[in-house]
Structure 1
Amino acid sequence: MTRWDFGEQTLTTLTQNTSGSGDELSDLITKLIDAAEPLVGKFDGSGKAAFDSFKSRADQITADLNAGLGSINEGQRGMDQAFSEGSQTMADEANQNMGTANFDAAKFRG
Protein backbone atom coordinates (compact mmCIF):
# COMPACT_ATOMS: atom_id res chain seq x y z
CA MET A 1 0.00 0.00 0.00
CA THR A 2 1.33 3.43 -0.94
CA ARG A 3 1.46 6.14 1.65
CA TRP A 4 1.34 9.79 0.65
CA ASP A 5 3.56 11.96 2.73
CA PHE A 6 3.82 15.58 1.80
CA GLY A 7 4.32 18.90 3.51
CA GLU A 8 1.73 21.44 4.45
CA GLN A 9 2.54 23.66 1.48
CA THR A 10 2.80 20.95 -1.20
CA LEU A 11 -0.64 21.50 -2.73
CA THR A 12 -0.31 25.29 -2.47
CA THR A 13 2.99 25.11 -4.34
CA LEU A 14 1.52 22.73 -6.92
CA THR A 15 -1.40 25.11 -7.49
CA GLN A 16 0.95 28.05 -8.00
CA ASN A 17 3.15 26.05 -10.37
CA THR A 18 0.17 24.92 -12.45
CA SER A 19 -1.04 28.50 -12.73
CA GLY A 20 2.42 29.62 -13.82
CA SER A 21 2.61 26.78 -16.34
CA GLY A 22 -0.66 27.93 -17.92
CA ASP A 23 0.72 31.43 -18.37
CA GLU A 24 3.93 30.02 -19.79
CA LEU A 25 2.04 27.75 -22.21
CA SER A 26 -0.05 30.67 -23.49
CA ASP A 27 3.12 32.67 -24.02
CA LEU A 28 4.75 29.80 -25.92
CA ILE A 29 1.75 29.42 -28.24
CA THR A 30 1.85 33.15 -28.97
CA LYS A 31 5.58 32.90 -29.71
CA LEU A 32 4.94 29.92 -32.00
CA ILE A 33 2.35 31.87 -33.97
CA ASP A 34 4.67 34.89 -34.22
CA ALA A 35 7.56 32.65 -35.32
CA ALA A 36 5.36 31.09 -38.01
CA GLU A 37 4.38 34.48 -39.46
CA PRO A 38 7.17 34.47 -42.09
CA LEU A 39 5.67 31.22 -43.45
CA VAL A 40 2.41 32.91 -44.45
CA GLY A 41 1.93 32.44 -48.18
CA LYS A 42 4.63 29.77 -48.47
CA PHE A 43 2.25 26.81 -48.35
CA ASP A 44 -0.10 25.46 -50.99
CA GLY A 45 -2.91 22.92 -50.88
CA SER A 46 -3.59 20.97 -47.72
CA GLY A 47 -0.45 22.35 -46.01
CA LYS A 48 -1.80 25.88 -46.47
CA ALA A 49 -5.23 24.86 -45.20
CA ALA A 50 -3.73 23.24 -42.08
CA PHE A 51 -1.47 26.22 -41.41
CA ASP A 52 -4.29 28.72 -41.88
CA SER A 53 -6.57 26.63 -39.67
CA PHE A 54 -3.99 26.50 -36.89
CA LYS A 55 -3.31 30.22 -37.14
CA SER A 56 -7.00 31.15 -37.12
CA ARG A 57 -7.73 28.80 -34.21
CA ALA A 58 -4.67 29.70 -32.14
CA ASP A 59 -6.63 31.93 -29.79
CA GLN A 60 -9.25 29.23 -29.26
CA ILE A 61 -6.57 26.59 -28.74
CA THR A 62 -4.93 28.83 -26.13
CA ALA A 63 -8.29 29.47 -24.44
CA ASP A 64 -9.11 25.74 -24.39
CA LEU A 65 -5.72 24.84 -22.90
CA ASN A 66 -6.08 27.59 -20.29
CA ALA A 67 -9.60 26.41 -19.44
CA GLY A 68 -8.33 22.86 -18.96
CA LEU A 69 -5.46 24.00 -16.77
CA GLY A 70 -7.88 26.27 -14.91
CA SER A 71 -10.05 23.26 -14.09
CA ILE A 72 -7.01 21.35 -12.87
CA ASN A 73 -6.01 24.37 -10.81
CA GLU A 74 -9.50 24.59 -9.31
CA GLY A 75 -9.29 20.93 -8.31
CA GLN A 76 -5.90 21.51 -6.73
CA ARG A 77 -7.26 24.44 -4.70
CA GLY A 78 -10.16 22.25 -3.56
CA MET A 79 -7.80 19.46 -2.50
CA ASP A 80 -5.61 21.96 -0.67
CA GLN A 81 -8.61 23.32 1.22
CA ALA A 82 -9.89 19.82 2.03
CA PHE A 83 -6.49 18.67 3.34
CA SER A 84 -6.08 21.84 5.41
CA GLU A 85 -9.56 21.50 6.91
CA GLY A 86 -9.01 17.78 7.52
CA SER A 87 -5.70 18.44 9.24
CA GLN A 88 -7.25 21.10 11.45
CA THR A 89 -10.24 18.89 12.29
CA MET A 90 -7.92 16.02 13.20
CA ALA A 91 -5.84 18.29 15.47
CA ASP A 92 -8.96 19.72 17.12
CA GLU A 93 -10.40 16.25 17.77
CA ALA A 94 -7.09 14.96 19.11
CA ASN A 95 -6.86 17.89 21.51
CA GLN A 96 -10.46 17.37 22.58
CA ASN A 97 -9.89 13.65 23.16
CA MET A 98 -6.70 14.31 25.11
CA GLY A 99 -8.64 16.70 27.32
CA THR A 100 -11.07 13.93 28.31
CA ALA A 101 -8.50 11.13 28.56
CA ASN A 102 -7.63 9.76 31.98
CA PHE A 103 -3.85 9.61 31.76
CA ASP A 104 -3.54 8.76 35.44
CA ALA A 105 -5.36 5.47 34.84
CA ALA A 106 -2.74 4.50 32.28
CA LYS A 107 0.19 4.87 34.67
CA PHE A 108 1.95 1.71 35.72
CA ARG A 109 2.33 1.40 39.42
CA GLY A 110 5.12 -0.61 40.72
Structure 2
Amino acid sequence: SSVLPTEVQLAEPPVQAWIRECGALWDAVLQEVEDKNRYHRRKLVELINAREQHGKQHQETLTLQERLQAAKDTLYGKLGDEYVVSQRLRKSIGEKQRDNQSSAELLASGLGELETRE
Protein backbone atom coordinates (compact mmCIF):
# COMPACT_ATOMS: atom_id res chain seq x y z
CA SER A 1 0.00 0.00 0.00
CA SER A 2 1.25 3.41 -0.93
CA VAL A 3 1.68 6.12 1.63
CA LEU A 4 1.50 8.91 -0.88
CA PRO A 5 -0.46 12.06 -0.06
CA THR A 6 -4.08 12.08 -1.20
CA GLU A 7 -3.43 14.83 -3.76
CA VAL A 8 -0.81 12.65 -5.41
CA GLN A 9 -3.04 9.57 -5.34
CA LEU A 10 -5.94 11.54 -6.91
CA ALA A 11 -3.64 12.64 -9.73
CA GLU A 12 -2.87 9.05 -10.73
CA PRO A 13 -4.51 8.07 -14.08
CA PRO A 14 -6.26 4.92 -12.73
CA VAL A 15 -7.71 6.97 -9.86
CA GLN A 16 -8.80 9.69 -12.29
CA ALA A 17 -10.50 7.06 -14.48
CA TRP A 18 -12.25 5.60 -11.44
CA ILE A 19 -13.40 9.09 -10.32
CA ARG A 20 -14.79 9.78 -13.82
CA GLU A 21 -16.56 6.39 -13.85
CA CYS A 22 -18.07 7.06 -10.42
CA GLY A 23 -19.19 10.51 -11.59
CA ALA A 24 -20.82 9.03 -14.69
CA LEU A 25 -22.55 6.36 -12.61
CA TRP A 26 -23.71 8.99 -10.12
CA ASP A 27 -25.16 11.08 -12.97
CA ALA A 28 -26.93 7.97 -14.30
CA VAL A 29 -28.38 7.26 -10.85
CA LEU A 30 -29.60 10.87 -10.54
CA GLN A 31 -31.18 10.62 -14.02
CA GLU A 32 -32.92 7.36 -13.05
CA VAL A 33 -34.26 8.96 -9.86
CA GLU A 34 -35.51 11.96 -11.84
CA ASP A 35 -37.13 9.69 -14.46
CA LYS A 36 -38.74 7.59 -11.73
CA ASN A 37 -40.11 10.68 -9.98
CA ARG A 38 -41.44 12.03 -13.30
CA TYR A 39 -43.08 8.65 -14.01
CA HIS A 40 -44.70 8.55 -10.56
CA ARG A 41 -46.00 12.12 -10.90
CA ARG A 42 -47.48 11.27 -14.32
CA LYS A 43 -49.11 8.11 -12.97
CA LEU A 44 -50.49 10.04 -9.99
CA VAL A 45 -52.04 12.63 -12.32
CA GLU A 46 -53.51 9.82 -14.45
CA LEU A 47 -54.93 8.16 -11.33
CA ILE A 48 -56.48 11.43 -10.13
CA ASN A 49 -57.98 12.03 -13.59
CA ALA A 50 -59.33 8.48 -13.73
CA ARG A 51 -60.95 8.88 -10.31
CA GLU A 52 -62.50 12.20 -11.32
CA GLN A 53 -63.80 10.64 -14.55
CA HIS A 54 -65.22 7.70 -12.61
CA GLY A 55 -66.92 10.11 -10.21
CA LYS A 56 -68.42 12.09 -13.09
CA GLN A 57 -69.64 8.91 -14.80
CA HIS A 58 -71.12 7.67 -11.53
CA GLN A 59 -72.94 10.99 -11.04
CA GLU A 60 -74.20 10.91 -14.64
CA THR A 61 -75.45 7.36 -14.09
CA LEU A 62 -77.31 8.42 -10.95
CA THR A 63 -78.83 11.39 -12.76
CA LEU A 64 -79.97 9.19 -15.65
CA GLN A 65 -81.42 6.62 -13.24
CA GLU A 66 -83.34 9.37 -11.44
CA ARG A 67 -84.67 10.72 -14.75
CA LEU A 68 -85.65 7.22 -15.86
CA GLN A 69 -87.47 6.57 -12.58
CA ALA A 70 -89.29 9.90 -12.86
CA ALA A 71 -90.35 9.03 -16.42
CA LYS A 72 -91.51 5.58 -15.28
CA ASP A 73 -93.47 7.12 -12.40
CA THR A 74 -95.14 9.57 -14.79
CA LEU A 75 -95.92 6.81 -17.28
CA TYR A 76 -97.26 4.48 -14.60
CA GLY A 77 -99.32 7.35 -13.21
CA LYS A 78 -100.91 7.94 -16.60
CA LEU A 79 -101.27 4.25 -17.34
CA GLY A 80 -102.56 3.64 -13.83
CA ASP A 81 -105.51 5.97 -14.38
CA GLU A 82 -106.20 4.39 -17.74
CA TYR A 83 -105.81 0.92 -16.21
CA VAL A 84 -108.43 1.68 -13.56
CA VAL A 85 -110.84 2.95 -16.22
CA SER A 86 -110.07 -0.10 -18.38
CA GLN A 87 -110.74 -2.47 -15.47
CA ARG A 88 -114.05 -0.75 -14.72
CA LEU A 89 -115.08 -1.05 -18.36
CA ARG A 90 -114.09 -4.72 -18.45
CA LYS A 91 -116.08 -5.36 -15.29
CA SER A 92 -119.09 -3.52 -16.70
CA ILE A 93 -118.83 -5.42 -20.00
CA GLY A 94 -118.55 -8.71 -18.10
CA GLU A 95 -121.64 -7.86 -16.05
CA LYS A 96 -123.58 -6.91 -19.21
CA GLN A 97 -122.52 -10.16 -20.90
CA ARG A 98 -123.69 -12.17 -17.88
CA ASP A 99 -126.96 -10.23 -17.84
CA ASN A 100 -127.40 -10.86 -21.57
CA GLN A 101 -126.61 -14.54 -21.12
CA SER A 102 -129.10 -14.79 -18.25
CA SER A 103 -131.70 -12.99 -20.35
CA ALA A 104 -131.02 -15.31 -23.29
CA GLU A 105 -131.31 -18.37 -21.04
CA LEU A 106 -134.54 -17.03 -19.56
CA LEU A 107 -135.90 -16.34 -23.03
CA ALA A 108 -134.91 -19.80 -24.23
CA SER A 109 -136.51 -21.49 -21.24
CA GLY A 110 -139.63 -19.32 -21.67
CA LEU A 111 -139.81 -20.29 -25.33
CA GLY A 112 -139.29 -23.91 -24.38
CA GLU A 113 -142.22 -23.74 -21.98
CA LEU A 114 -144.40 -22.12 -24.63
CA GLU A 115 -143.55 -24.84 -27.10
CA THR A 116 -144.37 -27.57 -24.59
CA ARG A 117 -147.76 -25.95 -23.89
CA GLU A 118 -148.70 -25.81 -27.50
Query: With CA pairs under 8 Å and 6+ residues apart, which has the higher RCO, 1 or 2?
Result: 1
Larger Rg: 2
Task: Give TM-score scaled by structure 1 length.
Answer: 0.49
Looking at secondary structure, tell me which structure has more helix per residue: 2
Task: Give TM-score scaled by structure 2 length.
Answer: 0.46
